[in-house]
A and B are shown apart, each in its own frame.
Chain A
Amino acid sequence: MATTLPSSRTVDAPRGVAIALRGVAIGYNGEAIIEEIDLDIHQGEIFFIGGGSGSGKTTLLASLITLRQPLRGSIVLDGIEVVGADEDALSAVRRRFGMMYQLGALFGGMTLLENVRIPLEEFTTLSNDAMDGVAHAKLGLVGLAAHAHKLPSEISGGMQKRAAIARALALDPSIIFLDEPSAGLDPVTSADLDALIVALNHMLGTTFVVISHELASIYSIGHRLAMLDGARKRLVALGSPAELREHSPDPWVRRFLTRTASASQGAA
């Protein structure tokens, strides 16, 4: 690979901390949406972020991938403080992770194959054939092998999402961020995606940070779940999804995890 990892980077114990947040507040124009986030995401974890629509999940993710500075606090990625770091340092950090944006963000003028090739062209010395091969394989993993030569405008919304996942996988990053990967996917495709996440996680120890409302996914593959509540501006729950569903002291969290309408609030 063309990228050189900093020599100071230590080989962590199996359960090292991939991302550490301390006293983080996120928001826009100085106004916080969520405050006082203290959170460690471990290496090799499948970590879900949940919460109501508009509660700040995408905004939090933008801070984790260093595209948006938090209002306050500290974020340490792979041992590097990213809050206040300069662009050069940030772009070195960014190469270590893959990101799938909520709306796909595929490059519209390029075919799916070319979209997946872009990071390979920029950061590897692979031959042209090998790049094509790797890109075909990544598209195959998300079930889009047959559509490699189409433009994003020629495929459906769910397919665009999967293509964006293939692009996030391009460099086999050690941390992968996915913003609502299964929204808009049918149950079978969605289950295939879960299987892919688990396989990569087991085989390579890839860390996944996934925003999702898909309770089935959260329970079947999630190691831990963090829940954001926009009304209270806080991270209101953190733990194993099944545990939180049964034993969270917070009724809103239990309702969220059992899909109970707020009107029929039985438990107090």
Chain B
Amino acid sequence: MTDAAPQARAEVRVGVRGDQLSIAIEGALVLETVGAVYESLAAPLRRAPRGVALDLSGVTRLDASGVAIPVHLFRYTKAAGGTFALSGVSGERQLLIDLALRGQDPGPRKAPPGAVRVVGAWAGDIWTILTDLLRFSGEVSIIALQIVRRPRLLRWKDTVAAVARHGADAVPVVGLLGLLVGAIIAFQTYDPMAKYGAKLQVADVVAVSIVRELGPLITAIILAGRSGSAFAAEIGTMKVTQELDALRTFGLDPVRFLVVPRMLATLLVTPLLSVYASILGVLGGFLVLGPKGITFMQYALEVRAALTIGGYMQGLGKAAVFALLVSGIGCLAGLRTGQGPSAVGRAATRAVVAGIVAIVVADSVLGSFFYTLGI
């Protein structure tokens, strides 16, 4: 980039006396030549000299990249506890090199983390996440209790807005997925069941698996992807832009201000969405069975017989638990967002992954719980 002659050249002369290295550079010490100079210095420096004397009096041209050579030798000798002497520079060259040498300190080289440390950090991470989650649940519960006593503390407007954004807007996609999953179950179970002459009982399979299990699960997974990540990103952005700090300096608690409205909204809409997904799932089953000669009346009666009130409540209960998990984890990921522009993206990813893992774990725990209760 400089206006140097096309073939800038630098000569490096190295003299060794005992453990002292003397280096003289002649010609153009510029971006174009600095790579070659580095190379010719590599071998002499491997002898681990105690002292380096650099003579730049033969340098015809020095640019800001050429300064890298004295900086390199300075850092090298400093790291090795040796001495560095520079000669043959004056005026502006001296100034440039002096500026560049300020504060140069090689410091300890950062070793890349080994596999053991990565796994260790990972385990530690999970531990901090779990304890953090517990502390956070405590915080949220306390504020929820305060709000029960003084409902004025709730940010109603934010809650209603969150209901619209995370409930109403999710209706199409939740409905579509419910319908398709219902149809898929009917489709996959029809042939084996028909072999035993149990065509009509496909309706039982669809009804039970959708209402108890898949309706809430589909809803919660969509919620983790749509709302959990959105909560993390919204709150995370506020953290990065110091809006959370601004809230705190007004004496406003981010949990009451931001977290509770989002969790409450999610808690309100998830069971409704889950019921809606279940209804469409059951309809989806009929889409497959109808053409196989089963009338709507037969199908509806079979579904009604298959479902118990307990099964219904089980689905609703699961949906409520999933709602708290997904929204809580999303908000927590947002509050714990790190620094820098990529932190928000990482927080959103963490919200989705942790949310889905939590949903599935909770589902298996709740499933066995309800089973032992005999519901």
Q: Report A's interface with B, CB cutoff 8 A.
A: 1, 3, 11, 95-96, 108-109, 124-127, 129-130, 133-134, 136-138, 140-141, 143-146, 149, 151-154, 169, 171-174, 192, 195-196, 198-200, 202-205
Complex Cα distance, B96 from A204, in Å, reads: 12
Are B32 and A199 in contact, with the CB atoms below 8 A? no
Complex interface: stretch among B176-184, B253-261, B335-343: B335-343
Complex Cα distance, B91 from A202, in Å, reads: 11
Are A149 and B110 in contact, with the CB atoms below 8 A? yes
Are B38 and A140 in contact, with the CB atoms below 8 A? no
Q: Tell me if B102 counts as interface (CB < 8 A to partner A).
A: yes
A46 to chain B, nearest CB (A): 14
Q: Tell me if B199 counts as interface (CB < 8 A to partner A).
A: no
Are B71 and A137 in contact, with the CB atoms below 8 A? yes
| Cβ-defined partner of B63 (8 Å) among A95, A126, A153, A204 | A204
Residues on B with beta carbons closer than 8 Å to the beta carbon of A154: 339
| Cβ-defined partner of B103 (8 Å) among A109, A146, A196, A205 | A146
Are B1 and A108 in contact, with the CB atoms below 8 A? no
Q: Which 8 A-B pairs have the closest CB atoms?
A: A140-B100, A137-B68, A108-B341, A130-B38, A145-B103, A153-B340, A133-B68, A146-B103
Are A153 and B339 in contact, with the CB atoms below 8 A? yes
Residues on A with beta carbons closer than 8 Å to the beta carbon of B34: 126, 130, 133-134
Q: Tell me if B75 counts as interface (CB < 8 A to partner A).
A: yes
Are B96 and A141 in contact, with the CB atoms below 8 A? yes
| Cβ-defined partner of A173 (8 Å) among B1, B67, B107, B110 | B1
A257 to chain B, nearest CB (A): 28
Residues on B with beta carbons closer than 8 Å to the beta carbon of A198: 92
A93 to chain B, nearest CB (A): 12
Complex Cα distance, B196 from A72, in Å, reads: 82
Residue of A nearest to B37 (CB): A130
Q: Tell me if B31 counts as interface (CB < 8 A to partner A).
A: yes
Q: Which of B74-93 contact A (CB under 8 A)?
A: 75, 92-93
- 26 A-B Cβ contacts within 8 A? A109-B342, A130-B34, A130-B35, A133-B69, A133-B71, A134-B34, A134-B65, A136-B72, A136-B104, A137-B65, A140-B67, A140-B102, A141-B64, A143-B102, A143-B103, A151-B339, A152-B340, A153-B340, A153-B341, A154-B339, A172-B31, A198-B92, A199-B96, A203-B62, A204-B3, A204-B63
Complex Cα distance, B74 from A140, in Å, reads: 12
Are B342 and A108 in contact, with the CB atoms below 8 A? yes
Residues on B with beta carbons closer than 8 Å to the beta carbon of A169: 64
Q: Tell me if B309 counts as interface (CB < 8 A to partner A).
A: no
Known pairs A140-B103, A205-B3; A195 contacts B340 (CB<8 A): no
Are B63 and A140 in contact, with the CB atoms below 8 A? no
B360 to chain A, nearest CB (A): 31
Residues on A with beta carbons closer than 8 Å to the beta carbon of B72: 133, 136-137
Complex Cα distance, B339 from A154, in Å, reads: 8
Residues on B with beta carbons closer than 8 Å to the beta carbon of A11: 3
Q: Tell me if B99 counts as interface (CB < 8 A to partner A).
A: yes
| Cβ-defined partner of B105 (8 Å) among A109, A138, A146, A202 | A146
Residues on B with beta carbons closer than 8 Å to the beta carbon of A192: 99
Residues on B with beta carbons closer than 8 Å to the beta carbon of A205: 3
Interface string of B45-81 (1 = CB under 8 A from A): 0000000000000000111110111011001000000
Are A174 and B1 in contact, with the CB atoms below 8 A? yes
Are B68 and A141 in contact, with the CB atoms below 8 A? no
Residues on A with beta carbons closer than 8 Å to the beta carbon of B63: 172, 200, 203-204
Residue of B nearest to A206 (CB): B2
Q: Tell me if B101 counts as interface (CB < 8 A to partner A).
A: yes
Residues on B with beta carbons closer than 8 Å to the beta carbon of A141: 64, 67, 96, 99-100
| Cβ-defined partner of B92 (8 Å) among A133, A140, A152, A202 | A202
Residues on B with beta carbons closer than 8 Å to the beta carbon of A195: 95, 99
Residue of A nearest to B2 (CB): A172
